[in-house]
Amino acid sequence: MDVTKQAMIRYLVRHGWKQQSSRDGRLIRLVLADDANRPPVNIFFSVDSVGADADGAEVAAAAETIQQIYGLSETALRANLVSLTFDKILATVPDDYLRHESIELRAARTYLNGMKGIIAASATTVLTGERSFRRTVKEAKDYADGCRFAHTFKGSFGLAIESPVGLNNQTIMPFAEADLPLGRKIVRRIAVGLQSLKDSYSQDDLGPIISTPEGLNANMCNELVGIIEGTGISRIDLSFVLSPEWEPDVPAPQPFKIESRYRDILKDAAARLTKADNDADVSIFGRIVNLHNVGDPSDLMSDDADRIIQVNWDSPEHGVIKVSVSLDPASYLAAVEAHKQGSPISIQGRLQRKGRSWALLGAKDIRTISV
């Protein structure tokens, strides 16, 4: 069973077993003594690992005991243990779309690729704060690749995705909040975003989606549209099972149905979020590749002169782009000096795309960077 000894101990403690340590500190004993008609049950774990095989043998022996006491199958026990270290996104396909208890591979592949994209897009926003981007950051892709496709569950045709969050081993003061793992932030953003989608649809207004910064981004909206259009399934029921190790006092996310009726509003939201992101304040960094001044070169301080520079910027979202920046006289002089020295500069402003060109509006805080 692919679970750790620590997860097994945490599971037993949560189910009322008492944890004790030997005098020499080399053994941990878990005791269950809640039945007067049955002698206490003991499970032992060594503190000092002697290798993966030894740990595996201890976990396997403990699992066999737990299955007998609680009448659990190995699959059911694994699901309970996994629930401590993973957040799960469960998808159920209506029976109308099943043929001999199966669905088309095309539909399953489209759903899984779409959910992988949603997880990676959610992770990118968690890591960068951007709600629209052309390139998913590497760390987000790596996290999505590290999620697991679990066994389908009984009752209907189900697809389960497990997002790793780990055990909560933080020592938190009463007045402080736990530092949530990346996996929890990713799944929470997905759940919050889907709720805002439901609210936007019921209100016939994009407001809830746009005004929920911890919710959907443009890329997540596009991935949802891809699932709706690519699977050919008009409704997929989603539910969330979150690890009790993190935010135990926070209510569980509400179930959601991915339905074809959401397609148009998702497209509108993606367009709005992309536009809002393109006009967002950014800080560009790079070398000046062009200087342009239509006024008198001997009088750069003339107020009516048009002073424009172009900067090569390696944007994490758009790749290498050339950004035009209109500057006031003092900033232009600083840019001229930086260009003479061959030094890169940084400038803050509002990035805007016009066709194939990029411009930085409201430029401020120009700085020469020493390299």
Element (H, E) at 152: none
HSE toward the beta carbon, residue 21, CA cutoff 13 A? 6
Token readout for 200 is: 């936007």
Confidence of residue 57 (pLDDT cuts 50, 70, 90): confident
Which amino acid appears at position 217 of this protein? Answer: N
Look at the pTM and tell me if it is higher than 0.85: no
CA distance 65 to 43: 8
CA distance 215 to 262: 16
Contact partners, residue 172, CB within 8 Å, separation at least 6 = 178
β-partners of residue 36 are: none
Mean confidence (pLDDT) of the chain = 84
What is the arithmetic mean of pLDDT over 112-131? 91
The pLDDT assigned to 35 comes to 67
β-partners of residue 91 are: 159, 238
Q: How many CB atoms lie within 10 A of CB 369?
A: 12
pLDDT tens string 3-24: 778 888 888 888 888 988 888 8
Q: Are 246 and 163 in contact (CB under 8 A)?
A: no
Q: Are 279 and 350 in contact (CB under 8 A)?
A: yes
pLDDT tens string 59-108: 888 889 889 888 888 888 888 888 888 999 998 887 776 666 667 778 88
The pLDDT assigned to 316 comes to 72
The pLDDT assigned to 178 comes to 66
For residue 327, which phi and psi values (nearest 5 degrees)?
A: -120, 155
CA distance 59 to 6: 10
CA distance 243 to 253: 12
Please state the separation of Cα 316 from the chain's center in Å.
Answer: 17
What is the arithmetic mean of pLDDT over 251-258? 92
- pLDDT at residue 26 tops 80: yes
pLDDT tens string 297-351: 555 555 556 789 999 988 876 788 999 999 888 888 889 889 988 888 888 888 8
β-partners of residue 29 are: 20, 44
Q: Which of 89, 109, 232 is nearest to 158 (CA)?
A: 89
pLDDT tens string 258-291: 999 999 999 999 999 987 665 567 888 889 999 8
The pLDDT assigned to 176 comes to 58
Annotate 199-264 with three-state secondary structure: HHHHHCCCHHHHCCCCCCCHHHHHHHHHHHHHHCCCEEEEEEECCCCCCCCCCCCCCEEEEHHHHH
Token readout for 187 is: 């799944």
- pLDDT at residue 139 tops 60: yes
Q: Are 184 and 242 in contact (CB under 8 A)?
A: yes
Q: Are 316 and 137 in contact (CB under 8 A)?
A: yes
Q: How far is CA 189 from CA 79, 90, 213, 255, 317, in A?
A: 23, 16, 9, 14, 20
> Please, what is the end-to-end C-alpha distance for the chain in angstroms?
53
The pLDDT assigned to 193 comes to 97
